[in-house]
A and B are shown apart, each in its own frame.
Chain A
Amino acid sequence: MNFLFFACTVTWLLIAAYVVVLGKRQKQLQAEIKQLEEWNSEQ
């Protein structure tokens, strides 16, 4: 049973890590868009 839980945990941890990476990428892009808007308004 321990092996089963280990395999299950590994599976969901890796998938969750990828979702976190996607979230970080999105946040970074949103920050860049905000910066672009600021630059545009400064002009």
Chain B
Amino acid sequence: MKLKSQIIDWTLFYILVAAVPVMMYFIFIWSPVERVLGPAQKIFYFHVGCAWVAFLAFFVVGVYSVFNLIKPKMNHFIYAGVSAEIGVLFTTVTLLTGMVWGRISWNVWWSWEPRLVTTLILWFIYVAYLFIRKMDGRWEKIARLSGVFGIIGCLNVPIVFMATRWWNSKLHPVVFGEGKNETGGGLEPEMLFTLIFSVVTITILYLFLMRKGAEIEKMRTRVKQAKNKLLQKWAN
């Protein structure tokens, strides 16, 4: 079982070692330069890739939070926590790269635009979620309480995605699902390929971080249990 897990970890690692330089090549050299924004438009590939992974991470938190509300299990609690951490990390990257994008295209670092505001709310929800998990007390109780926050955050994900459509914001471009046939605002085939490649690579990075993070947290739980056993033995 451990060997199988190690093989998966190393496979993911080697895929990443190969895919990340290829992704950088696609972004910086191979993909065409956009006419209006110039090379700065290429921020889009990092920005969208990280936003997608943040959404995925929060969806995973939501699913494990539901499981924890039904019946708390340590493994579910661990997976939810690690996924939330990675989600916060990628939301931070999304917000920061979005700010750089905003500076170029809107000439401001921040605008109180629906997509940005809902993303910031999402970030705050999951930061609060991580703080709740650090509380003292029985883990089952914390799993249930944090689970509520996890689900609220997960419900906020579709709101973030649909924000530009529902509030009809003209600032944030709608790239997919727009127009007569809902095919999108239009991306060159090379741009679309680079975007898909970036999203897949960053998703593999998420899987790798998730496995590593969960492995460490499981180890932490086992160490804690062993410590308690030893202390009990000493007390007797």
Asked if residues B100 and A7 are in contact (CB atoms below 8 Å), the reply is: yes
Residues of A within 8 A of B144 (CB): none
Within 8 Å CB of B103, what residues of A? 3
Question: How many chain B residues have a CB neighbour from A under 8 Å?
Answer: 33
Docked-complex contact B93 and A36, CB < 8 angstroms: no
Once the chains are docked, how many angstroms separate the CA of A39 from the CA of B42? 55
Stretch at the interface among B135-143, B153-161, B169-177, B215-223: B215-223
Query: Which of B97, B205, B230 lies in contact with A39, CB distance below 8 A?
Result: B230
Q: How many A-B residue pairs have CB under 8 A?
A: 67
The interface residues of chain A lying within 8 Å CB-to-CB of B219 are 26, 29
Task: Specify which chain A residues have a CB less than 8 angstroms from the CB of B120 in the assembled complex.
Answer: none
Interface 0/1 of B74-116, CB less than 8 Å to A: 0000000000011001001100110011011000000000000
Which of B40, B50, B101, B227 has the most chain A CB atoms inside 10 A of its CB? Answer: B40
B39 touches A15 (CB 8 A): no
Return the chain B residue nearest A8 by Cβ: B46
Q: Indicate if the CB atoms of B40 and A4 lie closer than 8 Å.
A: yes
Please state if A29 and B223 are interface contacts (CB–CB under 8 Å): yes
A19 partner residues in chain B, CB cutoff 8 A = 209
Sorting the interface of chain A by its residue count into under 10, 10 to 19, 20 to 34 or 35 or more gives 20 to 34
Given A22-B212, A26-B216, A40-B230, also A15-B100 (CB < 8 A)? no
Residue contact B100 to A6, C-beta cutoff 8 Å: yes
What 1/0 mask marks residues of chain A from 9 to 37 whose CB sits below 8 Å from any chain B CB? 01100110011001001100100110010
B213 within 8 A of A: yes
**CA A1 – CA B233 in complex, angstroms?**
63
- Asked if residues B97 and A11 are in contact (CB atoms below 8 Å), the reply is yes
Residues of chain A with a CB closer than 8 A to B233's CB: 43
Which chain B residue has the least Cβ–Cβ distance from A19? Answer: B209
Q: B110 to nearest A CB, angstroms? A: 15
Contact, CB under 8 Å: A7 / B43 = yes
Counting chain B CB atoms within 10 Å of each CB, the highest count among A4, A14, A15, A33 belongs to A4
Q: Which of B39, B101, B220, B223 interacts with A36 by CB under 8 Å?
A: B223
- Listed A/B pairs (14) with beta-carbon separation below 8 Å: A3-B40, A3-B100, A3-B104, A4-B40, A7-B46, A7-B47, A8-B46, A10-B93, A11-B96, A11-B97, A14-B89, A18-B86, A26-B216, A40-B230
Mark B residues whose CB is within 8 Å of A.
24, 28, 38-40, 42-43, 46-47, 50, 85-86, 89, 92-93, 96-97, 100-101, 103-104, 205, 209, 212-213, 216, 219-220, 223, 226-227, 230, 233
